[in-house]
Amino acid sequence: MNSEPGRSLNAQYQSAKQPVVVWVIFFATIISFMGLGLVDPISPAIAQQLDATPSQVSLLFSSYNLITGIALLITGVVSSRIGIKWTLLTGILFIIVFSALAGSSNGIWQIVSFRGGSGLGNSLFIATALSAIVGLAIGSTAKAIILYEAAIGLGISVGPLLGGELGSISWRGPFYGVSVLMIIAFLVLLLKMPRVEKPKVKSSILDPIKALKFPGLFRLGLTAFLYNIGFFTLMAYAPFVMDLDEHGLGYVFLGWGLYLALTSVFIAPKLQVRFGTVKSMCAMLTLFAFTLLAMGIWTDSKTVIIVSVIIAGLFLGTNNTLITTAVMQVAPVERATASAAYSFVRFIGSAVGPLLATKLAEAYSSAVPFYTGAVFVFLGVLVVAFGRKHIAHVDQISGHS
């Protein structure tokens, strides 16, 4: 009886004692996802200083996510030919260059275009980073994914804080900040990451599309597409109704991101063991949908919006880890292919969400985007619930029946 805690502690110690290269990729992943969240605090400032509408500013998210999603189809093709290390470095190089160009821009459409370039770099980096961490980390796949999700959560949480601090000086500051941090990540990876052997079989651009023929992977991708519309309604549109300056927005999204990071590491695994992946995902998505619904009902209350944004991090962080773990196990395909297929569908939803939300607000009222986001997330719950037979085996793999 007494030996069980010892084994558990030893397993945790082994999973924490990772090779240096894993922590280097972990750091670079944090920086990569900082680039996503840093736009939040400066969205209203960009709209005001560049005389742009909220829907035009939302394209900073949409162009980034759309190019990321589409380009994910080629990440396997690239990494199987030039190797994981050089795919990561190429992706980082794109982010460095296009972030700096965005910071040097003088018009909204220039920034939108350069954000698309950053999205291309992001696509090369994120899918490869997940595959690299899973392949190089000590411990189970689930523990490696938790590490990856923790990096995402930290990046998304620190990004708005950095964006708020640098954005209070100038809206250009956050773009230059990401560029500088990615130069550091580039140099560390270049020097510290060993050459990883290339796959024996070259990937095809059609592999991720073919992978979606597996019902379980397709359903998880569709679920992510739907809930990411709600996710990015919150990220891209909420700053326009909070009526806060860059500092205030940075701290709100810092709280949101910290909850996202903590729950992805500590809460998701416990829920997975206790209730199983499918039930836990349905519960988290339902709670997130109700959060968006509350934001729609009380849109005029700044306090409700702020508290709801922060609380949403609890549900999103937990769900992100649950669904990513499921994706890695749901279909009999290579992890990198499964990740690319799922992320392709997910990022298309991430591109739709910001533009749809701001267009609905301009056409109707500030509450409609939140109601609409809630509906899409509820639809995601239904996709999981009614497709349970296609993904139930994930719980059996993870030891939960």
At 299-333, the pLDDT tens digits run 999 999 999 999 999 999 999 889 988 888 888 88
Res. 8: pLDDT tops 60: no
Instruction: Return the HEC string of 239-253.
Output: HHHHCCCHHHHHHHH
pLDDT (mean) for 103-121: 93
* Greater model confidence, 62 or 396: 62
* Greater model confidence, 61 or 6: 61
- Give me the percent of the chain exceeding a pLDDT of 90: 40
Contact of 168 with 247, CB cutoff 8 Å: yes
**Best CA proximity match to 240, nearest among 38, 22, 73, 58:** 58
**Best CA proximity match to 343, nearest among 106, 81, 130:** 130
Confidence category of residue 5, pLDDT binned at 50, 70, 90: very low
Confidence category of residue 398, pLDDT binned at 50, 70, 90: low
Res. 83: pLDDT tops 60: yes
At 267-282, the pLDDT tens digits run 998 998 899 888 999 9
pLDDT (mean) for 194-219: 81
Measured CA to CA, the distance from residue 364 to residue 80 in angstroms comes to: 48
Residues 6+ apart with CB under 8 A from 63: 112, 113, 115, 116, 119, 351
Residues 6+ apart with CB under 8 A from 399: 273
Confidence category of residue 90, pLDDT binned at 50, 70, 90: very high
pLDDT (mean) for 132-148: 79
Q: Specify the pLDDT at position 314.
A: 94
**Best CA proximity match to 59, nearest among 393, 352, 373:** 352
**Best CA proximity match to 367, nearest among 289, 293, 292, 296:** 296
CA 79 to chain centre: 21
Residue by residue, DSSP assigns 328-373 as HHHSSS-HHHHHHHHHHHHHHHHHHHHHHHHHHHHHS-TTHHHHHH
Res. 171: pLDDT tops 70: yes
At 348-391, the pLDDT tens digits run 999 999 999 999 999 999 999 999 999 999 999 999 988 888 78
Res. 6: pLDDT tops 50: no
Confidence category of residue 96, pLDDT binned at 50, 70, 90: very high
Q: Return the SS3 of 190.
A: helix
Confidence category of residue 395, pLDDT binned at 50, 70, 90: low
Residues 6+ apart with CB under 8 A from 103: 172, 173, 174, 175, 176, 179
Contact of 320 with 227, CB cutoff 8 Å: no
Reading the block at residue 247, the tokens are 């500092």
At 208-260, the pLDDT tens digits run 889 899 998 999 999 999 999 999 999 889 999 998 888 898 899 889 988 98
Measured CA to CA, the distance from residue 388 to residue 140 in angstroms comes to: 24
The lowest-confidence range among 99-103, 144-148, 367-371 is 144-148
* Greater model confidence, 339 or 290: 290
Q: Specify the pLDDT at position 400.
A: 52
Cβ neighbours of 174 (radius 10 Å)? 31
Reading the block at residue 317, the tokens are 């962080």
Measured CA to CA, the distance from residue 198 to residue 221 in angstroms comes to: 27
Q: Specify the pLDDT at position 7.
A: 40
Using only the alpha carbons of the chain, give its radius of gyration: 20
pTM given for the model: 0.85
- Give me the percent of the chain exceeding a pLDDT of 70: 93
Calculate ∠ Cα 231-233-236, nearest 5°. 105
What mean pLDDT is reported for the chain?
86
Res. 166: pLDDT tops 90: no
Contact of 85 with 193, CB cutoff 8 Å: yes
Beta-carbon-side half-sphere exposure of residue 205 (alpha carbons within 13 Å): 3
Q: Specify the pLDDT at position 372.
A: 98
Confidence category of residue 198, pLDDT binned at 50, 70, 90: low
Res. 156: pLDDT tops 70: yes
Q: What is the distance between the terminal CA atoms of the chain, rounded to a whole angstrom?
A: 23
